[in-house]
Amino acid sequence: MANQKVIVGLDIGSNKIRTVVGVVEDKSHAINIIGVGISPSNGIRKGMVSDLDEAATNITASLEEAERMSGEPVHRAWVSFSGPSIETYDSKGVIAIGGNAEITEDDVDRVLDAARAVSLPANREILRIIPKSFSVDSQHHVKYPVGMNGIRLEVEAHIIAGQVSAVKNLEKCLYRTGVSIEEIIPSYLACAEAVLDRKQKELGVAVIEIGASSTNLAVFEEGTIIYSTVLPVGGEHVTNDLAIGARAAIDTADKLKIEYGTCLKDDVSEREEIDLSQISRTDAHTVSKKQIANVIEARYHEIFLMVRDELEKIGRAGMLPAGVVLCGSAVKTPGVVDLAREILGLPAQIGFPRDIEGIVDRVDDPGFSTVIGLLHFANRYGTTRSFDFDFGKISDSLVSFFKKLLP
């Protein structure tokens, strides 16, 4: 394809594996979606590979579907995953600039290198380092120091680290499918890239991504990420609660949740009953819809209380002017947005993937935000030489620096 570049996102979830193929035009930089693949995920548990063969088979199925639809063979992909194997740390780096000279991109690389020299727990490796702000001599909150004069350059950085074994196993899986990895991006970063705009990030906003096994939180302010964390509770816990509450098989409980589930328990009448034989071959008893709503609401309530505790830790509970944006498939239960608004005391909305063209109806879903975000990463950080990052202009050398950090 002349003047077009094919980019591929692959989101390896605990419940679903999603592939999206896009083409980017040289001039407009618009992302045109041309292929989508989705497969069940049976070899991933809590974001980590639990069965190499099964995971590779599922990934292949997802890739092949996207290849068939797009007519493009996939050789390389931007990959995301989530789960408790991802941890974040704050770090600082300081360097001297010789002779009060002009700060160069090499100096920025050096100071980020200094910030990278943080002592991580054993078996952790850095996936990404994100500069939050720079200081030049006594001037703080500098967004981009290149071109300024000074004798001392300091950076405050956000470090995202992954468990070495988890990353290696993911790489092994991908190797078996014959696809090589462009970059591994934690799912919440990809998700934020797809659903947030620059203004929201400037004002103060949080992305809450609720997947199957975990809830991922990322908080942005003044254009950059200031906090992120992974909470080990997600949609599969809602399903497990329902299986116990309704005394039904896990598969039945998941269908029950998706077809009849709601957090709006006050809207459900005491008398409504659901006949499980309608949705299951194994379960034939009836359950009260009110009881189902109570169980679902209780678990989402708990998730948002955990999020509120995290926001309290950083002094942002009820304090984010652009509110919270919810993504991940588990936010599709009716009433989740209202519950988030009520418990967090903030504006809340569902985050649909933005700034895409092509077969958008297939991906216009909060469950696709993460994989679409990977295409945004590929488009912005993989194909351009100089571009706007969270805090302003960022250099080609910084891109290569980020790439050096990858496993």
Applying CB under 5 A, does 211 fall inside the site for Mg ion?
yes
State the nearest-atom distance from the C-beta of 18 to Mg ion, in Å. 8
**Looking at residue 2, what DSSP letter applies?**
T
Residues in 23-52 at the binding interface with ligand ATP, rule: CB under 6 A: 41, 47
The residue number with the shortest CB distance to Mg ion is 211
Per partner kind, with CB cut-offs from 5 to 8 A, the member of Mg ion, ligand ATP, none near residue 14 is: ligand ATP
Q: Do residues 143 and 133 lie in contact, with contact meaning Cβ atoms separated by under 8 Å? A: yes
State the nearest-atom distance from the C-beta of 256 to ligand ATP, in Å. 10
Q: Do residues 70 and 33 lie in contact, with contact meaning Cβ atoms separated by under 8 Å? A: no
3-state secondary structure of 288: strand
Task: Give dist(CA 131, CA 159) in Å, integer.
Answer: 9
Applying CB under 6 A, does 328 fall inside the site for ligand ATP?
yes
Per partner kind, with CB cut-offs from 5 to 8 A, the member of Mg ion, ligand ATP, none near residue 235 is: ligand ATP
Measured CA distances, 375 to 60, 70, 178, 371, 406 (Å): 19, 15, 20, 7, 18
Calculate ∠ Cα 153-154-155, nearest 5°: 130
State the nearest-atom distance from the C-beta of 128 to Mg ion, in Å. 17
**Segments of 200-318 assigned E as strands:** 205-210, 215-221, 224-231, 273-275, 286-288
Residue 239 parent element (H or E):
helix 235-245
Applying CB under 5 A, does 13 fall inside the site for Mg ion?
yes
Residues in 72-111 at the binding interface with Mg ion, rule: CB under 5 A: 82
Cα within 13 Å of Cα(310), Cβ side: 20
Applying CB under 6 A, does 15 fall inside the site for ligand ATP?
yes
Site string for Mg ion, 310-339 (x = CB under 5 A): ------------------------------
> Which listed range, 20-28, 131-139, 224-232, 329-337, lies at the site for ligand ATP (CB under 6 A)?
329-337
Task: Give dist(CA 24, CA 6) in Å, integer.
Answer: 6
CB nearer ligand ATP, residue 254 or residue 297: 254
Q: Do residues 173 and 50 lie in contact, with contact meaning Cβ atoms separated by under 8 Å? A: no
CB nearer ligand ATP, residue 63 or residue 103: 63
Q: Do residues 9 and 375 lie in contact, with contact meaning Cβ atoms separated by under 8 Å? A: yes
Among 236, 241, 310, 390, binds ligand ATP (CB under 6 A): 236
Scanning the structure block, which residue is given the tokens 């292929």?
35
CB nearer ligand ATP, residue 368 or residue 381: 368
Phi, psi of 394 (to 5 degrees): -135, 150
> Which residues make up the interface to ligand ATP (CB under 6 A)?
13-16, 41, 47, 82-83, 187, 211-214, 234-236, 239, 254, 257-258, 261, 328-330, 332-333, 367
> Which residues make up the interface to Mg ion (CB under 5 A)?
13, 82, 187, 211
